[in-house]
């Protein structure tokens, strides 16, 4: 086997912020808008209520109107997102505030119809102002977030994070080969040849995202190299859901995690252990689990270093709060679990 002399694959177009960062239909936005509006409404209620009894009596209708108005505002903003994205920033902010002025009276209409006593002219005139006032800070936050997620900014941040993790990957992979040079030169040579092919793939510029299938192939190649080093001490189980394979993930997502599993689960154990990689797609999400067995001598919190922090940063940059990262010790196992939106690449 000899290292491939083929040229590196061409760069893929950046995809992290293809919509220019103006994202008005994401669950992360809905959650934050709901929290902000409810918090602001609660503060206003506590200041305006004459007593705790009045505050508690008004709490239910306030929550109903706040949630309904926010969801209606989000639906209108989502439907108009393309038209809004073409406008300059001041017009976008003004338009979102105006949508709030429309959504608030519409959301309160059922309450006003149910109790006409509260439908006094001053209150009716105040509702659009309240809606616009609540929508304005959310609109300002959306604008600031859109600027941070524009392609140039997002891709620059992802490139910075990628540049940090690649030397880490190179250093640790070379150590795998160097560990064999003294004890088994033929195997070390095979590992170095495999590493050349691995680096050709890993160091290529893939843009902001790759498919989960591509990441699994890279992780599999890395574990094949480690298999040469550890032999029967390393047992690898793959449980990959084909439906999850086109999900978009940051490059070099899985390799640091399986490397961490080998380092903290297999290497310290005289008997070796198991590394299990599992993916599953369901209900609009893709779950990724990297498990490894642990010995009693293993650290209680393995691998809380640069690589895992880097993985979390890149997931957060790509998917915001839509990505969930959890690493914990189970009974005899260490598990890293990632859940991301099922935002698939084209077949």
Tokens of 203: 């160091």
- Residues 245 and 208 sit within 8 Å (Cβ to Cβ): no
At 161 the pLDDT is 55
At 201 the pLDDT is 67
Give the residue carrying structure tokens 């934050």: 32
SS in 3 state form for 165-205?
HHHHHHHHHHHHHHHHHCCCHHHHHHHHHHHHHHHHHHCCC
Give the residue carrying structure tokens 């005289």: 270
At 5 the pLDDT is 36
Give the residue carrying structure tokens 């109107």: 65
Q: How many CB atoms lie within 10 A of CB 173?
A: 22
- Residues 53 and 187 sit within 8 Å (Cβ to Cβ): no
Domain residue ranges of the chain, discontinuous segments joined by +: 27-148, 151-341
In this structure, the dihedral spanned by the alpha carbons of residues 174, 175, 180 and 185, taken in order and rounded to 10 degrees, is 30
* DSSP E strand boundaries for the chain: 210-211, 234-239, 248-249, 273-282, 285-293, 324-330, 333-341
Q: The whole model's pTM is what?
A: 0.61
169 alpha carbon, distance to own chain's centre:
21
Domain 151-341: which CATH class?
alpha beta
Q: What is the mean pLDDT of each run of 10 residues along the chain (347 residues)?
A: 38 39 71 82 71 69 80 88 84 90 82 57 74 86 71 57 60 73 79 76 67 91 84 94 92 87 88 95 93 74 64 81 88 92 65
Distance CA 213, CA 210 (A): 8
At 287 the pLDDT is 96
Q: Which residues contact 163 (CB under 8 A, 6 or more apart)?
A: none
At 9 the pLDDT is 39
Distance CA 30, CA 14 (A): 26
In this structure, the dihedral spanned by the alpha carbons of residues 290, 267, 192 and 158, taken in order and rounded to 10 degrees, is 40
The three-state secondary structure class of 225 is helix
């Amino acid at each position: 086997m000899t290292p491939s002399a083929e040229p590196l694959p061409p760069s893929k177009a950046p995809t992290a912020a293809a919509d220019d960062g103006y994202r008005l239909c994401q669950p992360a936005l809905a959650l934050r808008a709901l929290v902000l509006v409810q918090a602001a409404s609660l503060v206003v209620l506590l200041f305006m209520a004459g007593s705790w009894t009045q505050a508690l009596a008004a709490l239910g209708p306030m929550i109903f109107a706040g949630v309904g108005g926010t969801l209606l505002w989000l639906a209108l903003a989502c439907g108009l997102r393309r038209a809004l994205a073409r406008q300059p920033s001041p017009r976008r902010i003004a338009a979102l505030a105006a949508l709030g002025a429309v959504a608030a009276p519409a959301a309160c209409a059922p309450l006003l119809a149910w109790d006409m006593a509260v439908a006094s002219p001053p209150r009716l005139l105040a509702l659009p102002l309240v809606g616009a006032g609540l929508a304005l800070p959310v609109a300002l936050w959306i604008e600031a977030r859109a600027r941070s997620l524009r392609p140039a900014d997002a891709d620059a941040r992802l490139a910075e994070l990628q540049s940090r993790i690649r030397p880490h990957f190179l250093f640790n992979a070379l150590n795998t080969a160097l560990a064999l040079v003294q004890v088994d030169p033929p195997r070390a040579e095979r590992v170095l040849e495999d590493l050349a092919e691995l680096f050709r793939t890993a160091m290529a510029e893939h843009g902001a995202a790759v498919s989960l299938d591509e990441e699994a192939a890279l992780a599999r190649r890395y574990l094949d190299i480690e298999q040469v080093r550890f032999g029967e001490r390393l047992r690898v189980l793959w449980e990959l859901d084909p439906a999850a394979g086109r999900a978009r993930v940051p490059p070099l997502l899985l390799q640091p995690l399986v490397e961490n599993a080998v380092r903290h689960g297999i290497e310290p154990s005289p008997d070796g252990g198991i590394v299990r990689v599992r993916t599953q797609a369901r209900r609009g999400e893709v779950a990724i689990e990297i498990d490894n067995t642990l010995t009693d001598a293993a650290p209680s919190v393995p691998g809380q270093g640069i690589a895992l922090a880097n993985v979390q940063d890149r997931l957060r940059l790509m998917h915001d709060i839509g990505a969930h990262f959890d690493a914990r010790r189970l009974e005899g196992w260490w598990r890293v679990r990632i859940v991301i939106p099922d935002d698939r690449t084209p077949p």
